Structure 1
Amino acid sequence: MNYSTRLLKFGLIFIGLPIAVFTGYLVYLLFSPPFNATYNHLLNPIVTLMLITALPFFYALKRAYDLLKLIDQQQAFTYVAVTALRQIKQSAIAIAVLYTVIWPLVYGVAEIEDAPGLIIVSGLPIFGSIIIAVFSALLQTLLTQAIEIKSENDLTI
């Protein structure tokens, strides 16, 4: 196992653990009494949708971990890696769509609390997910082209 892939695997675990703790906190918030009953009708859907976004996030982390295992096994230039990148892209798109659904609800909370910065902060996961989706789509295209060039070179004597 290479040092760099081991470091990246540790990084994936380091990213996943705080999100798992935050997801547990969201479950606690969902079943606890509300802080302020004036916007409880907005907070419960926000928390529920945030919990749903944890599913594609952890799926993407698992697929990234699988991709690192493929790199360790010297099988990075295979269609399995392309499939993993496609699934990471789809997970990032799903997260962006779910947070886009959350955004109007956050706007309602920001109106009640008079906190315009909340709208900007809630847009960060959307833009981060879009960046990840575009980057993984780019890597997927490049990897597909590299696999095609490799197969052409394997056929050439």
Structure 2
Amino acid sequence: MKRGSTLFLKTAVILIGIPILALCIFFVPGIANYAAELYPDMPYINELVLIDVYAAVIPFYFALYQAFKLLSYIDKHEAFSELSVKALKNIKFCAITISTLYVAGMPLFYLIAERDDAPGLIVLGMIIIFASLVIAVFAALLQKLLENAIDIKSENDLTV
């Protein structure tokens, strides 16, 4: 595979991470403060929103790192290796973790959307959940295909 195509994908991985970092720095604290203003009788809602979103960002960046490593393995012609399978497995678990964290945080999103009369917030949470699940299923499928390809490759190496 040409290095240019993986360079493009590595750049895309980096460019995906930058806006999420900007959202976490500038947008998420505002949402948490807004939630605290909506529910002044619940002083802990600010921290819950911050914990939920920032806890989901950690596996997101770990998954981006694993995708970057996977692209590096492709560059080194080690795509059909156990390291690639492990990277896909980590990406799958990160996607499941993100989805689980947002499912756990949906009551918070519901409270904010209910008081603010903004159903789009619930839809946004559902999009994140389902996108993470799609990524998890896709990574699991690729992991299984790669394991099968490695098995076939090792059988062919033993035959020759």
Same fold (TM over 0.5): yes
Measure, in 2, the Cα distance between the counterparts of 1:134 and 1:52: 21
Work out the CA distance in 1 between the residues paired with 2:68 and 2:16: 12
Q: Tell me the residue number matched to 2:83.
A: 80
Are 1:130 and 2:138 counterparts? Answer: no
Aligned partners of 2:141, 2:112: CA distance in 1, in Å? 36
**Residues 30 and 48, structure 1, Cα contact 8 Å, conserved in 2:** no
Paired residues, what number? 156
1:4 corresponds to which residue?
Answer: 5
| Counterpart AA for 2:121 | L
Pick from 61, 65, 68 the counterpart of residue 65 of structure 1. 68
Is 1:90 the equivalent of 2:93?
yes
CA–CA separation in structure 2 for the residues paired with 1:105 and 1:36: 11
Question: Aligned partners of 1:133, 1:22: CA distance in 2, in Å?
Answer: 23
Segments of 4+ moved more than 3 angstroms: 26-31, 33-36, 40-44
- In structure 2, the partner of 1:21 is 22
Once residues 27 and 134 of structure 1 are traced to their aligned partners in structure 2, the CA distance between those partners, rounded to angstroms, is 28
Matched-pair contact (CA < 8 Å) for 1:26–1:51: no
Percent identical among aligned pairs is: 42
- Matching residue's letter, 1:104: P
Instruction: Say if 1:30 and 1:44, in contact at 8 Å, map to a contact too.
Output: no
Point out where structure 1 has 5 or more consecutive residues left out of the alignment. Answer: none
TM score, norm. by length of structure 1:
0.91
TM-score normalised to the size of structure 2? 0.89
Q: Tell me how far 1:111 sits from its aligned partner.
A: 1.5
